[in-house]
Amino acid sequence: MKLQDLDIIITAPPAPGWGGRYWILVKLTTDTGITGWGECYASSVGPQAMEHVIHDLFERYFAGENPENIERLFRRCYSSGFTQRPDLTVMGAFSGLEIACWDILGKDRDRPVWALLGGMMNERIRAYTYLYPQPQHEIDSFWTSPQMAAEAASAYVDQGYTAVKFDPAGPYTMRGGHQPAMSDITQSVAFCRAIRDAVGDRADLLFGTHGQFTTAGAIRLGQAIEPYLPLWFEEPVPPDNLLEYQEVARAVRIPIATGERLCTRAEFASVLRSGGAKILQPALGRAGGIWEMRKLSALAQSFNAEMAPHLYAGPIEWAANIQLGVSIPNLLIAETIETPFHAGLIKSSIRVEGGFVTAPTAPGLGIEVDEDLARAHPYEDDGLHLQMQDAPCDYVNGNSFAGGAPPKKS
């Protein structure tokens, strides 16, 4: 069996676009007629440029290769151009192709991917969701309203979710780490208080920051929200300051989580060795694919760390997260996004029910992709999947974060 053909679909979720502005889906076909699907979570270059990168990697390293040779394919791409180090764009392209190879292998053997990774460890996966506006909420006001956040949290907990995530401490600027405005700290405390009051002990609070603060700023914010016992303090400092995580971990009594912007075991290993984070959040469509993150899970066990796969993308990456999660002993929880488009794209072949995902039993990734639906929603804009703002923190008027891909005003 050899890899023969590659097709790429760039599909855009309808407004309000939860999951980013577009998703890069890859479809591989073997000379035996088996197709496999993957998703590239890469947003540092535009989608058209990314298409060229994916084609280059496929033609250079994948075409004509047996999809079983995952380790060889990884080493080729990881070492491409005499580099042998993490490269966000190359690994983003590789990850989607690698996920598609696993889909092919599972279908060829008539087994789910988890069965090829060591078998079933977890019959079901605990899931969490971001807090998104409910039908009665005005979308622009939602991001700065503790009361609306509490209402959304209650609604999700009533659906069965046992953890909810929120990130009220913007502004998410490209200028790097900054000190939070006092208004951002006050708002963060208000969100934690309102949500904790609403859900009590029925759910964990997951506090996100997207790496926006200096070490001292992260400590100030983290200590302010400690009384509400969040399960984690996510990415408190920028991802290019991996050793600073340990300083935050020493000063804040909340578990530190990180990983959505890290790439391969090499970067995660630095965080583990320093003791900076005990909850790892790899994005499988960026970090090196299923096999590399299976190895990370084993490495994390040696540091008594847990895995919580990240998702701000489409349902194919989510399916890969679920397959990994079923197979590993140190799974904490997995992120999920529920929209009609997410569900429709995989024909609801994997679902969240009562806050959990049952281990898929269908071959490969366990999904059926609606290719026509994906092609019917082409991406026709010029923004990246996610973007940070140029403007600095506003210490006078406060800040509001509507996500890294906020809907355009009509």
Mean pLDDT of 37-58: 95
Residue 154 CA to residue 198 CA, distance in Å, equals 6
Share of the chain above pLDDT 70, in %: 98
User: Prior bond to 171 cis, omega within 30?
Assistant: yes
Of 132, 147, 131, 3, which Cα lies nearest the Cα of 61? 3
Paired tokens of 65: 């290769």
- Is 407:15 a contact under the CB 8 Å cutoff? yes
pLDDT digits (tens, 9 = 90+) for 171-182: 889 988 999 999
pLDDT digits (tens, 9 = 90+) for 189-227: 999 999 999 999 999 999 999 999 999 999 999 999 999
- Say what the pTM is: 0.97
pLDDT at residue 401 in the model: 80
CA 258 vs CA 6, 262, 337: distances in Å? 32, 8, 19
The CATH architecture to which 115-365 belongs is Alpha-Beta Barrel (3.20)
Please state the domain extents for the chain. 115-365
Residue 101 CA to residue 99 CA, distance in Å, equals 5
pLDDT at residue 405 in the model: 73
Amino acid at 118: G
Concatenated DSSP letters of 172-240: -BTT--BPPPHHHHHHHHHHHHHHHHHHTTSSEEEEE-TT-B-HHHHHHHHHHHGGG--SEEE--S-TT
Cβ neighbours around 41 below 10 Å, total: 27
* Angle 254-127-159 from CA coordinates, rounded to 5°: 110
* Angle 159-370-105 from CA coordinates, rounded to 5°: 95
Question: Which residue blocks in 58-181 are alpha helix, DSSP H?
Answer: 70-78, 88-109, 113-116, 139-142, 146-158
Paired tokens of 1: 């069996």
Question: Residue 402's pLDDT band (boundaries 50, 70, 90)?
Answer: confident
pLDDT digits (tens, 9 = 90+) for 120-138: 999 999 999 999 999 999 9
Of 39, 14, 93, which Cα lies nearest the Cα of 376? 14
pLDDT at residue 409 in the model: 58
pLDDT at residue 42 in the model: 81
